[in-house]
Every structure is written in structure tokens, then in C-alpha cells.
């Protein structure tokens, strides 16, 4: 469904990752775990076209999408739910959600989807007229997720969804992801909360310092072994 081949990218002259190759199967949930600075978010931004790679290729349904602009990739159903910071800070909560319905295919069901998002996150409904830059970290995160769902993704990249959320809220968000997974959505989940992320994963990548340190099916993962890798205890 989505594949990254020998990809290298970074900011300016500084490379963040080198020669990465990952495969994300359709209808499956792939989790990328790894410590801060491993290059996980940069990888997602490069897949979306927000960062131009230095070399390598990104394949969407077996075709290179490097020449497609970010907005063209969105129209192919590729959606990134960024960390809570990438909101329209001077617009209200509701306006942020409406912007999410911009892709042509999702405009028709704007009202429906908005109601769904408000049902998932009643807090957003309470604060629908509030300017989004004044939201708390957790609320901003909910809004980023809600806005991403408004886009009706087919392949959904999710960057650190649990960041800044309470354990209860984290649990709730993961139950939403589980529902999306049951709807056969292709999910690429970047998470530092390894425990939660592993529970819904079909395949797990561990990234460290710009490289893939481990690639395993979920059922072959031993949490102890993963933690050893994570903390480089070998």
C-alpha cells in the first residue's frame, strides 16, 4: 500500500535519517516506536511531501509519489494527523474541523463527520467557538485528531497521538484507533507510548538514530527484547 525505499532526508545540510526502507501493508496497523530524535516525525513529514527527500523513493500503491505535491497526496487518501502543534492557531475549534473537510471527497459529509468528531470528543463541542491557540495540550491533540478524521483518510499517518494526553484520554483515543483498524483503515502510528502502540499493531518497527533497528510482526515481538533494544542494552 505504502512503501519507503532507501529514503534519506533531513533539514538543510543535516540528515535526520539514512537509507530507510519500510513497508506499510494495506488494512494493517504498523507502529513505529523509538526514542526522541530517531527521525520518526521527519519520516512522516517526508512521506507527506512537507520535506523533500535527499534520495530514495516513496511508493503509494506501487507508484512513486515524489513528484506529487502534498495536496495531491491528500487527494489520494494519504492523511497525516500531526502533533497537536500544527493547528490553525487563530481560527476557532469548529473552523479547524471545517478545514479538515477541504479534500473534495470529504466535503459532502462535512456535517456528519463533524457530529461524529463532536461525539468522540465532547470537549471539542463545548469549546467549538474557542480560538484553538488557547486550547490545552490535550485538547489541541484531540482537535488535530478530529480534524484528520474529517479528511476521511484511507491511509492514516498518526504522529504521537498520546502526547500531552491524560492516561484516560490516551486509552480513549486508542479505542478510536482500534475502531478505525476494524474498518480496515491502513494506519501508520508513531508512538513513544510503546505499550499502547503494541496492543493495536500488526507490525512493529523500532527506529533509532535515523535507522531501522528492528522490524518484526507483532506476534513475534517480545516486549522485554524490544525494551532491551530501545534502551540499547545489548
Partner 1 sequence: MLELTLQAIYTGLLSGGFYALVAVGLALIFGTMKVINLAHGELVLLAAYVAYATESKLGLNPLLALPIAMAVVVSAALLTYFLTNHIKKDRELNSLILTFGLGIILTNSLLMVFSANIYSTSTEWFFEGVVIGDTLFSMRSELLAFVVGVLSLGGLYWWLNHTWHGRAIRAVSSNLDAAKLMGMNPKQAEMWSWGVAGILATLAGCMLYTTSVIHPPIGHGLTIKAFIITVLAGMGSIPGVLVGAFLIAIIESLTATFFQSSLSELASMGIFLVVLIVLPSGLFGNKRIH
**Which residue of 70, 112, 119, 175 would you call a contact of partner 1, by CB under 8 A?**
70
Q: How far is CA 26 from CA 35, 131, 160, 234, in A?
A: 26, 37, 21, 33
- Least distance between partner 1 and beta carbon 108 (Å): 12
- Least distance between partner 1 and beta carbon 166 (Å): 25
Q: How far is CA 148 from CA 36, 74, 117, 177, 212, in A?
A: 23, 11, 10, 12, 27
Using CB under 8 A as the binding rule, whether residue 47 contacts partner 1 is answered as no
Q: Which residues contact 93 (CB under 8 A, 6 or more apart)?
A: 124, 127, 128, 129, 130, 132, 135, 143
Using CB under 8 A as the binding rule, whether residue 79 contacts partner 1 is answered as yes
Give 5's strand partners. 57
Are the C-beta atoms of 153 and 101 separated by less than 8 Å? no
Interface region with partner 1, contact rule CB under 8 A, candidates 25-33, 65-73, 173-181, 211-219: 65-73
Interface region with partner 1, contact rule CB under 8 A, candidates 17-25, 74-82, 116-124, 200-208: 74-82
Nearer residue to partner 1 within complex by CB, 92 or 208: 92
Using CB under 8 A as the binding rule, whether residue 135 contacts partner 1 is answered as no
Using CB under 8 A as the binding rule, whether residue 11 contacts partner 1 is answered as no
- Least distance between partner 1 and beta carbon 201 (Å): 24
Residue 120: closest CA among 82, 147, 89: 147
Are the C-beta atoms of 124 and 142 separated by less than 8 Å? yes
Are the C-beta atoms of 227 and 33 separated by less than 8 Å? no
Rounded CA gap, 183 and 42, in Å?
Answer: 27
Using CB under 8 A as the binding rule, whether residue 86 contacts partner 1 is answered as yes
Using CB under 8 A as the binding rule, whether residue 50 contacts partner 1 is answered as yes
Nearer residue to partner 1 within complex by CB, 5 or 50: 50
- Least distance between partner 1 and beta carbon 155 (Å): 13
**Which residue of 56, 84, 100, 138 would you call a contact of partner 1, by CB under 8 A?**
100
Which stretches of the chain bind partner 1, using CB under 8 A? Answer: 48-50, 69-71, 74-75, 79-80, 82, 86-91, 95, 98-100, 102-103, 107, 147, 151
Amino acid at each position: 500500500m505504502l512503501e519507503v525505499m532507501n529514503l534519506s532526508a533531513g533539514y538543510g545540510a543535516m540528515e535526520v535519517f539514512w537509507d530507510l526502507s519500510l513497508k506499510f501493508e494495506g488494512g494493517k496497523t504498523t507502529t513505529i516506536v523509538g526514542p526522541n530524535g530517531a527521525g520518526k516525525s521527519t519520516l512522516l513529514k517526508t512521506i507527506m511531501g512537507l520535506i523533500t527527500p535527499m534520495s530514495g523513493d516513496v511508493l503509494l500503491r506501487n507508484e512513486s509519489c515524489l513528484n506529487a505535491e502534498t495536496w495531491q497526496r491528500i487527494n489520494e487518501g494519504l492523511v497525516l494527523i500531526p502533533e497537536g502543534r500544527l493547528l490553525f492557531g487563530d481560527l476557532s475549534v469548529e473552523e479547524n474541523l471545517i478545514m479538515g473537510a477541504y479534500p473534495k471527497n470529504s466535503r459532502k459529509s462535512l456535517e456528519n463527520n463533524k457530529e461524529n468528531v463532536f461525539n468522540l470528543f465532547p470537549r471539542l463541542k463545548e469549546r467549538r467557538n474557542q480560538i484553538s491557540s488557547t486550547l490545552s495540550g490535550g485538547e489541541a491533540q484531540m482537535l488535530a485528531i478530529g480534524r484528520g478524521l474529517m479528511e476521511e483518510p484511507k491511509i492514516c499517518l498518526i504522529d504521537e497521538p498520546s502526547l500531552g494526553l491524560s492516561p484516560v484520554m490516551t486509552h480513549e483515543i486508542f479505542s478510536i484507533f482500534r475502531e478505525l483498524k476494524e474498518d480496515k483503515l491502513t494506519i501508520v502510528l508513531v508512538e513513544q507510548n510503546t505499550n499502547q502502540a503494541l496492543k493495536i499493531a500488526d507490525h512493529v518497527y523500532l527506529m533509532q538514530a535515523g535507522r531501522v533497528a528492528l522490524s518484526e510482526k507483532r506476534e513475534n515481538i517480545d516486549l522485554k527484547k524490544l525494551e532491551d533494544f530501545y534502551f540499547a542494552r545489548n
